[in-house]
Amino acid sequence: MLFMVIETFADNDVVPVYQRLREQGRALPEGLEYVDSWIEASFAHCFQLMRCDDARLLQEWVLQWRGTGVHFEIVPVVPSSETRAVVEPYLGAPGPG
């Protein structure tokens, strides 16, 4: 499953997070895969795509970042191509009611 992890940095300060990454790496539990990430130009948020089959791995990973000033929101996501396949049978069909 894919998850969009939205990190919010206290006071838009990413320096403590990057220092920790440099010193300790991502420290991902086995089975949790980092896919890619994007940082907002203002340094307020990081949007990180992660993959795993067990959401508890994300919880374990988030707990490792306590005290760094990062707040995490975790959103399960589905690739657009897969969503299109689910929606396709409904296109052109009359709506409810």
pTM for the complete prediction? 0.84
Distance CA 76, CA 22 (A): 28
What average pLDDT does the chain have?
92
pLDDT, tens digit, for every residue of 1-41? 999 999 999 988 889 889 988 998 888 999 999 999 999 99
Question: What is the per-residue pLDDT for 97?
Answer: 60
Which residue would you say has higher pLDDT here, 92 or 94? 92
Instruction: Name the nearest CA neighbour of 6 among 42, 32, 44.
Output: 44
List alpha helices for 1-97, DSSP H: 15-24, 55-63, 80-87
Domains of the chain from N-terminus onward: 2-90 (3.30.70)
Question: What is the per-residue pLDDT for 83?
Answer: 94
